[in-house]
């Protein structure tokens, strides 16, 4: 088709009409082929900020990003011997998860092997493409790279083989995945167009569409440590991502709105967060020693249950709980699914509590190149893994009181200053640096209590300065708060039901009460 870039820009700037699917496809194709220069694309991106894309345009742009590179194909499982076909069977359903990012957000490290380990209920594959941290938010890949030898840069063939053999893998996207988005993200970063909701949505969801799971669960965060400070902003982003996911074949796409006003779990920093996850993977999660990790455990269990539940829409030739055969319905017909959402969630909790997810995590790390001896040391003797050289600890000396606030973004920013995060892409992060909290919002504190330790390899002065910044950020007051921490999950969003308030199941709340006594 005939195409004039100036018309594309002028039409968007004047908000004359929506672009057609063909126009958007040619626009992105020509940019990837460098027939549209950066200055023209930058003008269009700015025009989109003032006149946002419609839901249809956003879904089309997302598909164009995905189609600019490789879209993974996940064939059925085939067993051969000397080139002869032995067996052929449909692959298990595949489900992924995406988080919009936060401070101490280590959910994926537990979630991927947990869902894969629930194969006794529902065999499910979890192919996960994750990212690195930037700014105050940490990155899943940075955290896992603290395990010596772990390689997130897998070829498509290796990625698929690991998923087939282990049931899960966590990798970073290759250059072949969404090259249009890779170019456009760099341009958005220097033209102040990152915050555009349709452009955010297309950037996030295109990589998931290229990865090509059957369905996806989204963890969209709001609050101080999120890129979406208000719950209303988070809801708009979540609704847009749900709509784009559904429009591009990810059925169902489910989103949770989750609180990121405070750091998630007790650790912030790469190895420190992996260590926290390893302790949880060992099981017995209702134990009081996980009091500071309980919000993390709730997020993991709820999302695992949802991922298992919605994977049933894509199962073929399954049997129901009574042993009879069952056909699987299309989304919108939950009465014909084998297991209820609560059943899936309870099973996920039981598997996590059993400790057997640790073996699945070990298999995944070894398949991705982790050094066997180092991995074994990290799992069996995590306290023997060296931490950063300089430590500064806050031992409380004031009048007894209660912690009212631990502002997540401030803590994330401090973690960057001590080396645990990065300010610009490709900056090397320190695997050993970070913060460990011994108290959280709502906890009582008295003289002699340790509140937090800061670890860095920079200098003792830097450790002391960082601790001082933490002390200035944390709010401690004499009076107790009736509800110091709101629910970690506030809403659930689907295309079918829209936005609905979410409550943690009563049985899980009882475990929570036991663990936090």
192 is catalytic: no
105 is catalytic: no
335 is catalytic: no
Active-site entry in 63, 98, 239, 362: 98
Active-site entry in 203, 226, 293, 453: 203
Q: How many CB atoms lie within 10 A of CB 328?
A: 17
Residues paired with residue 395 on neighbouring β-strands, in sequence order: 450
Reduce the DSSP state of residue 491 to 3 states and report it.
strand
- DSSP state, 160? H
CB 345 within 8 Å of CB 310 = no
Residues paired with residue 89 on neighbouring β-strands, in sequence order: 77
Q: Which two tokens stand for residue 312?
A: 């049933």
Active-site entry in 12, 97, 132, 207: 207
**Angle separating helix axes 38-50 and 179-189, nearest 10 degrees:** 70
CB 492 within 8 Å of CB 470 = no
Active-site entry in 96, 105, 181, 413: 181
188 is catalytic: yes
CB 365 within 8 Å of CB 154 = no
Q: What is d(CA 459, CA 450) in angstroms, rounded to the nearest whole number?
A: 21
511 is catalytic: no
Q: What is d(CA 304, CA 121) in angstroms, rounded to the nearest whole number?
A: 12
Q: Which residues contact 333 (CB under 8 A, 6 or more apart)?
A: none
Q: What is d(CA 201, CA 65) in angstroms, rounded to the nearest whole number?
A: 11
**What SS3 string covers 46-61?**
HHHHHCCCCHHHHHHH
Place of tokens 């921490």: 485
Using a 10 angstrom Cβ sphere, with 0-12 exposed, 13-18 middle and 19 or more buried, the burial of residue 135 is middle
User: Catalytic residue positions?
Assistant: 98, 181, 188, 203, 207
């Amino acid at each position: 088709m005939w195409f004039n870039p100036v018309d594309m820009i002028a039409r968007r700037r004047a908000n004359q009409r929506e672009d057609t699917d063909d126009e958007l496809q040619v626009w992105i194709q020509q940019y990837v082929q460098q027939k549209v220069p950066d200055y023209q694309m930058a003008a269009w991106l700015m025009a989109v900020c003032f006149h946002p894309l419609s839901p249809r345009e956003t879904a089309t742009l997302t598909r164009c990003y995905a189609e600019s590179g490789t879209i993974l194909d996940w064939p059925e499982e085939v067993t051969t011997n000397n080139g002869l076909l032995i067996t052929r069977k449909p692959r298990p359903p595949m489900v992924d998860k995406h988080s919009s990012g936060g401070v101490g957000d280590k959910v994926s490290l537990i979630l991927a092997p947990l869902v894969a380990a629930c194969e006794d209920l529902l065999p499910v594959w979890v192919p996960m493409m994750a990212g690195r941290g930037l700014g105050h938010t940490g990155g899943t890949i940075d955290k896992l790279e603290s395990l010596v030898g772990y390689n997130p840069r897998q070829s498509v063939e290796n990625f698929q083989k690991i998923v087939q053999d282990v049931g899960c893998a966590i990798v970073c996207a290759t250059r072949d995945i969404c090259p249009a988005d890779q170019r456009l993200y760099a341009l958005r970063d220097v033209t102040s167009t990152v915050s555009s909701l349709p452009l955010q949505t297309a950037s996030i969801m295109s990589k998931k569409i290229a990865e090509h799971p059957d369905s996806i669960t989204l963890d969209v965060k709001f609050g101080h440590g999120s890129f979406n400070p208000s719950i209303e902003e988070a809801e708009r982003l979540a609704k847009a991502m749900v709509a784009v996911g559904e429009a591009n074949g990810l059925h169902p796409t489910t989103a949770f709105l989750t609180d990121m006003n405070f750091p998630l779990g007790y650790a912030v920093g790469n190895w420190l967060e992996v260590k926290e996850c390893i302790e949880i993977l060992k099981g017995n999660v209702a134990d009081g020693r996980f009091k500071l990790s309980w919000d993390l455990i709730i997020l993991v269990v709820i999302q695992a249950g949802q991922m298992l539940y919605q994977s049933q829409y894509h199962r073929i030739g399954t049997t129901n709980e009574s042993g009879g055969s069952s056909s699987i319905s299309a989304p919108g017909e939950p009465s014909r699914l084998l297991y209820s959402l609560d059943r899936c969630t309870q099973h996920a909790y039981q598997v996590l509590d059993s400790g057997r997810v640790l073996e699945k995590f070990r298999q995944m790390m070894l398949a991705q190149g982790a050094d066997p001896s180092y991995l074994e040391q990290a799992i069996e003797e995590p306290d023997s893994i060296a931490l950063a050289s300089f430590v500064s600890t806050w031992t409380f000396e004031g009048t007894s009181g209660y912690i009212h606030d631990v502002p997540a973004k401030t803590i994330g920013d401090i973690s960057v200053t001590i080396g645990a995060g990065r300010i610009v892409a490709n900056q090397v992060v320190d695997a050993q640096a970070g913060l460990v909290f011994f108290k959280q919002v709502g906890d009582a504190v008295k003289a002699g209590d340790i509140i937090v330790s800061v670890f860095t390899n920079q200098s003792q002065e830097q450790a002391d300065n960082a601790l001082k910044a933490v002390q200035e950020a944390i709010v401690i007051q004499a009076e107790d708060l009736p509800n110091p921490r709101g629910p970690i999950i506030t809403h659930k969003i689907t295309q079918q039901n829209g936005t609905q308030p979410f409550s943690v199941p009563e049985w899980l709340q009882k475990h929570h009460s036991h663990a936090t006594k």
